[in-house]
């Protein structure tokens, strides 16, 4: 029983990170109907921004940690908007396949220029927040795990507020549903799309820091695997659906953690993806996605 709760806690804290990244995939899909493969590398950039910001800040303090988190979120928001402006906006109106291939190109560009600038050797991410180990009823809990879950919850709550209670958030939902109608309301769709990239990338930046706190070895290719998992989580929850992305992330992280804690740990990815395929077999639009006919 203890082992179960221990794994559940581990799984949820991993899943919370997947959820943060998955939100960016799903939001961009919502407004532009394509998968921004470079999103995983924005996540990686967040970890590196944090790494350099931490060198100027006292380690192991709450405000220093929050400053690192804030720097990564802000830096990633700018990177995300820059990618959109330079790579995707010129392709507005082009077939989705072209945009998708461009996204793969941007992703590779970021990964290999990362290797050029930062080197391929992994670096140790500093403990920017104070760390503590608790023991609660036989459970070993690290403060970082709680931090990940608390930060993810706070960020998802803030995101929900932005999307449902603000003018730009309502515009985001309107653009996602019908970009032409949104234009006819006076919405500058380009601005809303840029904002969506900024918002999603900020969450990925936060995800990068939280991931690096729990797996403190960072390198320019570190985004590939969590990025793929988060993309999967977004599909699992129903691509374009925001609560779905959060749910998919938590589910995938938990399943992966339980499998890796079992005798079948070698097959953790295989089993996680088998579960995914099984769910999609029965619910092709994802857990919370609605099966809708493609509009012409």
Partner 1 sequence: MPAAHDSSSAAAAATEILRVEDLHVSYGAISALNGISLSVPAGAIVTLIGGNGAGKTTTLHSLSGLIRAARGRVHFAGEDITALAPHHIVARGLCHVPEGRMIFANLSVAENLAMGAYLQRSPAQIAAARDYCFSIFPRLRERLRQNAGTLSGGEQQMLAIARALMSRPKFLMLDEPSLGIAPRLISTIFEKIVEINRDHGTGILLVEQNARLALEISTHAYVLETGHIVMSGPSRELRNNAQLKAAYLGS
Asked if 82 and 142 touch (Cβ cutoff 8 Å), the reply is no
Smallest gap from Cβ 183 to partner 1, in A, equals: 4
Q: Which stretch binds partner 1 (CB under 8 A): 2-10, 45-53, 133-141, 179-187?
A: 179-187
> For partner 1, how many residues bind (rule: CB under 8 A)?
17
Q: Quick one: residue 38, left, alpha or beta (phi over 0 = left, psi -120 to 50 = alpha)?
A: alpha
Residue 161: CB atoms within 10 A of its CB come to 11
Distance CA 10, CA 22 (A): 18
Q: Which stretch binds partner 1 (CB under 8 A): 15-23, 105-113, 170-178, 200-208?
A: 170-178
Q: Which of 177, 266, 274, 278 binds partner 1 (CB under 8 A)?
A: 177
Smallest gap from Cβ 185 to partner 1, in A, equals: 5
Q: Cβ closer to partner 1: 95 or 167?
A: 167
Q: Cβ closer to partner 1: 40 or 174?
A: 174
Binders of partner 1 among residues 180 to 209 (CB under 8 A) are: 180-189
Which one-letter DSSP state was computed for residue 188? Answer: -
Smallest gap from Cβ 67 to partner 1, in A, equals: 35
Under the binding rule (CB under 8 A), the answer on residue 173 touching partner 1 is yes
96-130 as b/e: b if 16+ CB within 10 A: eeebeebbeebbeebbeebeeebeeeeeebbebbe
- Of 102, 66, 69, whose CA–CA distance to 86 is shortest? 102
Question: What does the per-residue mask of binding to partner 1 show for 140-169, with x meaning CB under 8 A?
Answer: ---------------------------x--
Residue 223: CB atoms within 10 A of its CB come to 30
Binders of partner 1 among residues 50 to 79 (CB under 8 A) are: none
Smallest gap from Cβ 250 to partner 1, in A, equals: 23
Collapsing DSSP to helix, strand or coil, 35 comes out as coil
Smallest gap from Cβ 259 to partner 1, in A, equals: 35
Q: Which of 171, 204, 212, 288 binds partner 1 (CB under 8 A)?
A: 171
Map tokens 């390198």 to a residue: 219
Smallest gap from Cβ 111 to partner 1, in A, equals: 36
Q: SS3 for 19-77, per residue?
A: HHHHHHHHHHHHHHCCCCCCHHHHHHHHHHHHHHHHCCCCCCCHHHHHHHHHHHHHHHH
Smallest gap from Cβ 285 to partner 1, in A, equals: 14
The residues that touch partner 1, with contacts defined as CB under 8 A, are 167, 170-171, 173-174, 177-178, 180-189
């Amino acid at each position: 029983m203890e082992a179960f709760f221990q794994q559940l806690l581990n799984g949820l804290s991993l899943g919370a990170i997947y959820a943060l990244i998955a939100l960016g995939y799903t939001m961009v899909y919502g407004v532009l109907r394509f998968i921004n493969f470079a999103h995983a590398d924005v996540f990686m950039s967040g970890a590196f921004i944090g790494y350099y910001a931490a060198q100027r800040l006292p380690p192991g303090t709450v405000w220093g940690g929050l400053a690192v988190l804030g720097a990564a979120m802000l830096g990633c928001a700018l990177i995300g908007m820059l990618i959109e402006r330079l790579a995707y906006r010129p392709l507005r109106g082009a077939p989705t396949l072209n945009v998708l291939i461009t996204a793969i190109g941007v992703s590779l560009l970021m990964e290999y220029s990362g290797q050029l600038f930062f080197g391929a050797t992994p670096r140790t991410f500093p403990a920017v927040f104070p760390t503590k180990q608790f023991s609660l009823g036989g459970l070993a809990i690290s403060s970082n795990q709680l931090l990940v879950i608390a930060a993810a919850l706070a960020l998802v709550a803030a995101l929900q507020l932005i999307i449902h209670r603000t003018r730009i958030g309502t515009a985001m939902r309107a653009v996602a549903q019908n970009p032409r109608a949104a234009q006819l309301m006076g919405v500058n769709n380009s601005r809303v799309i840029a904002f969506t990239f900024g918002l999603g990338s900020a969450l990925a930046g936060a995800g990068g820091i939280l991931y690096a706190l729990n797996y403190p070895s960072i390198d320019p290719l570190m985004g590939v695997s969590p990025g793929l998992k988060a993309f999967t989580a977004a599909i699992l929850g129903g691509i374009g659906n925001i609560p779905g992305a959060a749910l998919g992330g938590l589910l995938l992280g938990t399943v992966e953690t339980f499998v890796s804690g079992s005798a079948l740990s070698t097959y953790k990815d295989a089993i996680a993806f088998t579960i995914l395929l099984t769910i999609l077999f029965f619910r092709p639009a994802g857990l919370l996605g609605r099966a809708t006919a493609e509009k012409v």
